[in-house]
Amino acid sequence: MSRDISPENRDRFIELGITISMLRKLQGDSQESFAEKAKISRSHLSSIEAPNSVYPFSLEVLFNIANALGMEPGDLLNTHLTSKKKTK
């Protein structure tokens, strides 16, 4: 997978990782237990959730994470728990 990510998409990956982390914590799951539900390693989940870090991941992983959260992948992508700043 290419690590050349546009600035706009970098922000999206960071926001998605933070959102996943917040939703996981709201469910009361540790990284270890949630990673097991999502069928990924704890270190993979940790990389995805790391704030201010960009860690691109596959659609399969997105689908697994959405399933573990009990939501549709599209709903996960459209969930924004962080404030969005628009600049002109």
| pLDDT given for residue 82 in this prediction | 61
| pTM summary value | 0.85
Q: Which domains does the chain have, with CATH numbers?
A: 8-77 (1.10.260.40)
How much is the average pLDDT of 14-32?
96
**Listed residue (36, 41, 37) closest to 70, CA to CA:** 37
Q: Which residues contact 27 (CB under 8 A, 6 or more apart)?
A: 34, 69
| pLDDT given for residue 2 in this prediction | 45
| pLDDT given for residue 5 in this prediction | 86
| pLDDT given for residue 8 in this prediction | 84
Better pLDDT: 29 or 5: 29
| pLDDT given for residue 23 in this prediction | 96
